[in-house]
Amino acid sequence: MPGKRDLEESDGDGVHLEDANKRLHISSSDGEGLLQTIEKKRLDFYSEKVCSVTLSTIDVYSCLTCGKYLQGRNEGSPAFKHSIEVSHRLFMHMRTLKTYILPENRQLRNAEVLDQIKYGFRPTYESRQVANFPQECKDLNGQPYLNGFIGLHNISNNDSSNVILLMLAHIKPLRDLLLLNDDLLDKADQFVNKLTLLIRQIWSPRLFRRHVSPHEFLQYVATHVKQPRSLNAHSDPRNVLLFIINRMMNSSCGEIRKTLTENIQGTVTVSTTKIVSVPNDDGNSIKFVLDTRTSKSSDIRFWMLSLDLPAKPLFKDGKSANSLPQVKLEQLIRKFDGTVEQHLKESIRLNKVTQCPPYLILHIKRFDSGKFPVKDRNQTVVEFGQEIDFCSTKYQLFMNIVHEATKPAMNQEVPVLDENSRWKIQIRNDKDDTWLELDEGNVRKREKELLFLNETYLQVWERVTTA
């Protein structure tokens, strides 16, 4: 078990590289030699920080030579034994980001390579820097990438989570809060802490490799957070988004709650009037009329608006885009302008959005709760442009999450009749008005005029502000 000294991480034993000769009995050249043992390409910034020997998350260090996570640095600890058995000497503490030489148990600092590694584990930002994002960057191998527009590893069919994490990373007020408020890394609850760190890594201009893994965040959610039944490995992005938003709203951070409600949440007024039966004038039949005396209305806050597609055609006429039914987005969104009646069992309902958020999230309902929800989904093509007028507000399309069905593997003992879902996100780079599609590790340009040909499922529209 680690001692009290390890947990406190006192600065009293710190030494500079230049005076290592006196304090550690190693020459300056030996100190430089230790830095040469660092293998940056083997470091893992994205896995859960848990000791590979004790499975503890307390007082964990990263070996800067092989990348293993090991506990403690006092005599007999896994990190101490590792330094003796394989002669790996440099270890960085995962909470304080201080580097120590083992087995001497002395701190080493003031080295550029250590600063690079610290930034990899915990990126920090300034407001002037964030205002110029995204920017062209290069990884360790000299490969170019655009920060923020990078792929996330699909660890185990978690692409439905990946597209939502990228969506949240690009909602500017939330992004800026997570990048600039360092308290969210230290004082917030662990869910917000892990989410903040992941968003910071997505926007890092100094990535060692031009992709990021959400492993640490997803592992924490899987093992520490109670999840609703609707959330599982094959969840649709809508459920993932609502889960993350609700979890953030239940956090102790008031700034996050305020940012979400001011930028994503809107209000819809729902009016309901009962239908009653009355006899006709001839007395031989009845008719149904609205009983205005039963009319009532209520204001409901929403995170997204769900749009209903027209019913699927009874007979299919091929599978090309031209053969699929098509509908305009403007027609679907009329559901919330207060003029389109929804006929319920015993009443009529009208929905009218009375408060539009700066970021309007639209959900297009394609799946039902049948036996084969993916195979039997509604594939209606939704036509949309780059701008839309809604509730006397002009919006510009900002993000588009699309669905793609794939055939299941056929070498399984039990036949699977339903198809698999694959999710991608298309994001507009407002610096040059180009669209990029993020599909796992692949980043491709897309023509904005052809975005509607995909199976759109979720969209984010950004309110256009007039100068």
Do 235 and 132 have their domain in common? yes
Q: Are residues 389 and 281 in the same domain?
A: yes
Please report the pLDDT score of residue 33 as a whole number.
84
In this model, does residue 325 exceed pLDDT 70?
Answer: yes
pTM: 0.88
The pLDDT of residue 24 is 41
Three-state helix/strand/coil letters over the chain: CCCHHHHHCCCCCEEEHHHHHHHCCCCHHHHHHHHHCCCHHHCCCCCCCCCCCCCCCCCEEEECCCCCEEECCCCCCHHHHHHHHCCCCEEEECCCCCEEECCCCEEEECCHHHHHHHHHHCCCCCHHHHHCCCCEEECCCCCEEECCCCEECCCCCCHHHHHHHHHHHHCHHHHHHHHHCCHHHHCCCHHHHHHHHHHHHHCCCCCCCCEECCHHHHHHHHHHCCCCCCCCCCCCHHHHHHHHHHHHHCCCCHHHHHHHHHHCCEEEEEEEEEEEEEECCCCCCEEEEECHHHCEEEEEEECCEEEECCCCCCCCCCCCCCCCCEEEHHHHHHHHECCCCEECCCEEEEEEEEECCCEEEEEEECCCCCCCCCCCCCCCEEECCCEEEECCEEEEEEEEEEEEEECCCCCCCCCCCCCEEEEEEEEEECCCCEEEEEECCEEEEECHHHHHHCEEEEEEEEECCCC
Q: Which of 120, 144, 178 delimits the end of a domain?
A: 120
314 and 451 housed in the same domain: yes
CATH number at residue 319: 3.90.70.10
One domain, residues 86 and 169: no
pLDDT at position 3: 42
Identify the pLDDT of residue 410: 66
Per-residue pLDDT, 415: 62
Mean pLDDT taken over the chain: 87
User: pLDDT at position 175, please?
Assistant: 97
pLDDT tens profile 220-254: 998 888 877 656 545 789 999 999 999 999 998 99
Q: Are residues 355 and 375 in the same domain?
A: yes
Q: What is the pLDDT of residues 349-378, one digit of tens each?
A: 999 999 999 999 999 999 988 888 888 899
Domain that holds residue 324: 266-463
* pLDDT (mean) for 88-114: 93
Q: Are residues 251 and 282 in the same domain?
A: no
In 3D, which of 171, 180, 172 has the Cα closest to residue 200? 180
Asked if 338 and 380 sit in the same domain, the reply is yes
168 and 203 housed in the same domain: yes
Q: Which of the two residues, 411 and 144, has the higher pLDDT score?
A: 144
179-206 confidence digits (pLDDT tens): 999 999 888 789 999 999 999 999 999 9
Q: What is the percent of the chain with per-residue pLDDT over 70, rounded to a whole number?
A: 87
The CATH number of residue 62's host domain is: 3.30.40.10
Is 285 in the same domain as 405?
yes
Last residue of a domain, one of 120, 154, 180: 120
Residues 250, 320 within the same domain: no
The total of structural domains in the chain comes to: 3
Residues 236 and 360 in one domain: no
pLDDT in tens, 47-65: 999 999 999 999 999 999 9
Do 322 and 451 sit in the same domain of this protein? yes
Domain boundary among 93, 120, 147: 120
